[in-house]
Structure 1
Amino acid sequence: MTSRMFGPVRVVVVSVFMALAMAALAGCSFQEEEKVWEISGGIFGTSYHINVVLPEDSARLKMLAQGIQAELERVDNAMSTWKPDSELSKLNRKQSQADWTTLSAPLFEVIHRAQEISAQTDGAFDATIGPVVNLWGFGPDARPERSPSDEELLKALNVTGWEFLEFDSEALAIRSKQPQYIDLSGIAKGYGVDVVARYLDTQGVQAYLVEIGGEVRTRGRKPDDDVWRLAVETPSDQARQVNVVVALDRKSMATSGDYRNYYESEGQRYSHTIDPDTGRPIDHRLASVTVISDDCMTADALATAYNVMGFERAMSLATRENIPAYFIVRGEAGFDVHSTPAFSSYVVQ
């Protein structure tokens, strides 16, 4: 994550719908007209767009916009590796991590969930891969002038390993026999979506769509009683094209792909997604994978893990565990699409 901001939060109307109701006993009366309002801003080096269904109330919308930004900044201040004074950066700088370190509840929750996803995916998701991510130039360090050598990769891999982390759930504490550099970029954005959704729940918002950098969580319906519809795009670093449309209510969706965040050096294209087994950027036929889950933190981490695993391994695991997942795979004549049985019930186009 990054501390860069993209200007002030703004609130704009994106669509208007009429909501009429008849009183059952006392003649006719009208409910307040509900509209879909958009609250947008910047966080984590990307942008967010939150749609809320509410009657017009500028004071309430302003309060929600400020509250959303404050919630996201708290996440950034806890989990950013780009901010030297973040809680995670301070943990990563500790020379010895053998003693228990008490964490804030949010940071403990995310690292602990990352550990669970690591176990579930046999290490395809590994939050301790930070040193290798930095070595390839996808972290806060400057991009390297050349690709790392085998010796440099081996040295970085030797100081990683999700299995070395230990947790004390009662004390919200963590320790590791060898110092770890934890990178939560594969899960924290999804957690940010969940944090905003929780905040809107506490504020009595009954219908919303929260989107941060492409990761999404929904609740309720739009004023015309239609569901929230979301597009899964065909992988391309050029024009955007819809591949499939899904309908979600009280669900989250996240996509991981190798077609946007990458760089090219000496004619070679390097994906930002690093395989924890090899320490190298992924290089296989799977172009993107989309996962649906109850919470966005889980969808985000699983999508990352499946992207690391490649199509065959990920499809087998997701099918076995009944996880809704949609895979777009490079074929000889374009893209081939595959989905788990659990994904089909969400498709509307």
Structure 2
Amino acid sequence: MSKIKRHQIVLLCIVSLLWLDCSLLAKKKKLFVFTGHTMGTSFTIKVVDDWQKEREKRMGRFQGDIEKLLGRVNGQMSTFIDSSEISLFNRYRGKEWFSVSSELVLVVQTALKVSEQSGGTFDITVGPLVNLWGFGPDPSADRVPAEEDISKKLTQIGYRFLSCRLTPPALKKAIAELYCDLSAIAKGYGVDAVAAYLDSQGARNYMVEIGGEIRAKGKNNNEIRWRIGISAPQAGGGVQKIINVTDIGMATSGDYYNYFEKDSVRYSHTIDPRNGYPIQHKLASVTVLHPQCMYADAYATAIDVLGPEDGYDFALKEELPVYMIVKTDSGFAEKMTPQFAAVMK
């Protein structure tokens, strides 16, 4: 082969590589990160998109749009805001239909469905008991309520005392004292609402996280599924397990952050609606996967109340991908449903 021919081949290869590099550069994805505070916690949203000026300019609007969207959710569902729809409904003492937004009805409708499925272990009317134990909007000093106070509050709760309708959107209570607390489902709904907004803007790869509740779609900026860490249920935190997910919602419930101790007894913020007391079993943490984060959020609370055995049986019955961290005499043990194991493959 002549030197001229070899030179032509080398030059052709260089030109081809340069074209390939330019082609890859044109397809390069950029990671956009949005952060802020909502619902008494923080949020982090990551969007992966093409490296294009027009896309980057559009991304610049996302922060404001997302904050406005979450502000609306807060104004509908937060018991920490006196003027929110749910707070106004809680103060309402009538038994007629009370007008609210269709978004609030959707969340209540979902909550009532999970309540039925779980035999009442998930119950958004548990609020009076949550407040009595000092875990509500007005936290009290760490104290164990009197038994008669717990018994009285038990007569004021029950998801069957609550009704909802979509047309026109409204809620109704059967007893005047009924009080709803959406803290175990509202963050999940907020995640879904942000995901719906991103979908409407044409985003194909994103991760939305609000207070540990997550929705992931597509791939991250390394072109692989989103890597999500599940917290270790122990002092000092850390990561217990890392999972790779896509096109799924995820929520975790546990008693290792919000609790108080009295006379060497630990009292969790998770109250069992069936007896009015904080949970006392060995389930330290439960993570649930579901296409809708709102459902994952509610199911995680229901299973957290049920405990490691009954909760696992419930997850199997509902065919839920569930991952548990259970306390043992020597530390912690992991337990997962076949559906969760299948997602991890």
TM-score after normalising by structure 1 = 0.88
* Equivalent of residue 163 in structure 2, options 166, 170, 177: 166
Show the counterpart of 1:94: 92
* Equivalent of residue 182 in structure 1, options 167, 180, 183: 180
Show the counterpart of 2:10: none
Shift of 1:202: 0.8
Q: How has the CA–CA distance of structure 1 residues 151 and 65 changed in structure 2, closer, same or farther, with 3 Å as cutoff?
A: same
Shift of 1:269: 2.0
Deviates more, 1:245-254 or 1:86-95: 245-254
Show the counterpart of 1:220: 218
Structure 1 unaligned spans of 5+: 1-19
Show the counterpart of 1:273: 270
* Equivalent of residue 120 in structure 2, options 118, 123, 135: 123
Shift of 1:234: 2.2
Preserved CA contact (<8 Å) 1:244 1:347 = no
Structure 1: how far apart are the matches of 2:232 and 2:19?
41
After the TM superposition, which residues 49-60 of structure 1 pair with which residues of structure 2 at under 5 Å, given as runs?
Answer: 49-54=44-49, 55=51, 57=53, 58-60=56-58
Q: How has the CA–CA distance of structure 1 residues 22 and 316 changed in structure 2, closer, same or farther, with 3 Å as cutoff?
A: same
Structure 2: how far apart are the matches of 1:339 and 1:70?
38
Preserved CA contact (<8 Å) 2:150 2:276 = yes
Shift of 1:335: 0.7
Preserved CA contact (<8 Å) 1:135 1:144 = no
Shift of 1:56: 5.6
Amino acid at match of 1:66: G
Structure 1: how far apart are the matches of 2:217 and 2:139?
40
* Residue 295 of structure 2 is aligned to residue 322 of structure 1: no
Shift of 1:30: 5.3
Preserved CA contact (<8 Å) 2:142 2:260 = no
Show the counterpart of 2:195: 197
- 1:282 aligns to what SS in structure 2? coil
- 1:263 aligns to what SS in structure 2? strand
Structure 2: how far apart are the matches of 1:178 and 1:342?
40
* Residue 115 of structure 2 is aligned to residue 136 of structure 1: no
Structure 1: how far apart are the matches of 2:52 and 2:155?
56
After the TM superposition, which residues 299-338 of structure 1 pair with which residues of structure 2 at under 5 Å, given as runs?
Answer: 299-338=296-335
Show the counterpart of 1:15: none
After the TM superposition, which residues 240-255 of structure 1 pair with which residues of structure 2 at under 5 Å, given as runs?
Answer: 240-241=238-239, 243-255=240-252
Q: How has the CA–CA distance of structure 1 residues 244 and 145 changed in structure 2, closer, same or farther, with 3 Å as cutoff?
A: closer
Deviates more, 1:227-236 or 1:165-174: 165-174
Structure 1: how far apart are the matches of 2:250 and 2:281?
23
Q: How has the CA–CA distance of structure 1 residues 347 and 137 changed in structure 2, closer, same or farther, with 3 Å as cutoff?
A: same
Show the counterpart of 1:46: 41
Amino acid at match of 1:291: V
Q: How has the CA–CA distance of structure 1 residues 21 and 340 changed in structure 2, closer, same or farther, with 3 Å as cutoff?
A: farther
- 1:287 aligns to what SS in structure 2? strand
* Residue 245 of structure 2 is aligned to residue 264 of structure 1: no
* Equivalent of residue 72 in structure 2, options 74, 94, 98: 74
After the TM superposition, which residues 282-301 of structure 1 pair with which residues of structure 2 at under 5 Å, given as runs?
Answer: 282-301=279-298
Q: How has the CA–CA distance of structure 1 residues 126 and 30 changed in structure 2, closer, same or farther, with 3 Å as cutoff?
A: same
Deviations 1:51-88 (A, max 9, x none): 10123655323200111111111000100001111111
User: What is the CA RMSD across the aligned residues, in angstroms?
Assistant: 2.0
Structure 2: how far apart are the matches of 1:187 and 1:275?
16
Preserved CA contact (<8 Å) 2:134 2:142 = no
Q: How has the CA–CA distance of structure 1 residues 21 and 167 changed in structure 2, closer, same or farther, with 3 Å as cutoff?
A: farther
Structure 2: how far apart are the matches of 1:336 and 1:291?
17
Deviations 1:262-303 (A, max 9, x none): 122343322110000111111111000000000000000000
Q: How has the CA–CA distance of structure 1 residues 168 and 21 changed in structure 2, closer, same or farther, with 3 Å as cutoff?
A: farther
Amino acid at match of 1:245: I
Structure 1: how far apart are the matches of 2:328 and 2:204?
43
Structure 1: how far apart are the matches of 2:171 and 2:234?
40
Show the counterpart of 2:236: 238
- 1:298 aligns to what SS in structure 2? helix
Structure 1: how far apart are the matches of 2:19 and 2:190?
36
Amino acid at match of 2:205: A
* Equivalent of residue 26 in structure 2, options 15, 24, 31: 31
Shift of 1:174: 1.8
Amino acid at match of 1:240: G
- 1:159 aligns to what SS in structure 2? coil
* Equivalent of residue 339 in structure 1, options 328, 336, 341: 336
Amino acid at match of 1:313: D
TM-score after normalising by structure 2 = 0.89
Deviates more, 1:176-185 or 1:165-174: 165-174
Preserved CA contact (<8 Å) 2:228 2:244 = yes
Structure 2: how far apart are the matches of 1:158 and 1:237?
36
Preserved CA contact (<8 Å) 1:324 1:343 = yes
Show the counterpart of 1:6: none
Say how many residue pairs are matched.
324
Shift of 1:32: 5.0
Amino acid at match of 2:43: Y
Shift of 1:223: 3.6
Structure 1: how far apart are the matches of 2:233 and 2:47?
29
Give the ranges of 4+ consecutive aligned residues of structure 1 lying more than 6 Å apart after TM superposition.
Answer: 20-23
Identity of aligned residues (%): 41
